[in-house]
Amino acid sequence: MHLKSVDILPKYFSVNTHIRMNKHRLFLLSISFLLVLASCEKNSPDTPVAMVPEKLEITPVAASIKVGESSTFTAKYFNTSGAEAPVPSGIVWSSSITPVATVNSAGVALAVASGQTEIKAKINNMEAKALLTVVDNDLQIATITIEPGTKELLVNDTATLIAVARNINNQIISGKSFTWTGNNNVAVELAANGFVKGKAWGTSSVQAMADGKVSTPIMVQVIRKGTFSGSGSRGNAKLKFDGSILKLQTSSDFAVTSTPPDLRIYLGPNSGNVNGAVEIGTLNIRNGEQTWNIPTNVTIGEFRYAIVWCKRLGGAYGVSDLGN
């Protein structure tokens, strides 16, 4: 019996030691897990949304009616975060050419005579405009639309815009010749046939005219665009305008497949760091289309790179070269 007890003793110590080692490993794993959790916590608040000028818009942006008919326009207000908010009281409505149409304090326009006028909504330093066309009959041009309704180009890209005239019944009026105008030939070269070419980053408001009627203006803009690379990132980033507001936008296929914490997006002069860069927003969603307002003191040509950066631990997890 004594010999058997001695034989069992080493096995007891072996099992006991194994249990203690497993407890030690479990303790180390627990500590490691807690450290990972701690590293995933942000040590700084989310990037606040960049403030932009508040603005008014009018819907619809264009309307066509016959003499004696009326059309109702509605004002929309966007706050300094760029989000739609309740319209302030005290909107003042007006018509630029009252012999064509008048408008009352509720935004209801009454057609007086054939022609075109701008319907305006104004409060404080904000003003919005819509185009109202008044016709006598079905033979006159009621609308001129430009297709596509907006156009984005890169520098040296080209495209051809198409103008279409329609009557009050939305039927196409063929055989019309159009005159084209733009307000920024430095950014967008515009030819007589609607041909456009991107010359420099910026925007141009383009209109087509026939029979004394003009289209609602469309924005043709020359954007900056680049493809993300590095650390499992994919998709594109582009700098573009939404009205007068410069924005950074990721594409629908954008993704960062790495898992660092506290990712932010920057615009900066360098691809490998954020020295001299501007923090644009928090990357709360790691994939898909997202849009951020750019601070008003940053211009479209100021920075070359869009950088996904881990603010908590440092390091780039995606860089998009927007071109120089």
- How far is residue 38's CA from residue 50's CA, in Å, rounded to a whole number? 29
Q: Which residues contact 110 (CB under 8 A, 6 or more apart)?
A: 69, 70, 101, 102, 103, 104
- Spell out the CATH class of 224-321: mainly beta
- In this prediction, residue 311 carries a pLDDT of 92
Identify the segments of the chain with pLDDT beneath 70.
1-43
- In this prediction, residue 220 carries a pLDDT of 97
- In this prediction, residue 10 carries a pLDDT of 43
Q: What residue segments make up the domains of the chain, in order of their start?
A: 55-135, 143-222, 224-321
- Domain 55-135 of CATH type 3.40.50.620: no
- In this prediction, residue 42 carries a pLDDT of 54
Sign of CA dihedral 25, 28, 34, 40: negative
- In this prediction, residue 51 carries a pLDDT of 94
- In this prediction, residue 43 carries a pLDDT of 58
Q: Do domains 143-222 and 224-321 have the same CATH topology?
A: yes
- In this prediction, residue 66 carries a pLDDT of 98
The architecture (CATH level 2) of 143-222 comes to Sandwich (2.60)
The C-alpha torsion from 288 through 292 and 298 to 299, rounded to 10°, is: 60
- In this prediction, residue 258 carries a pLDDT of 82
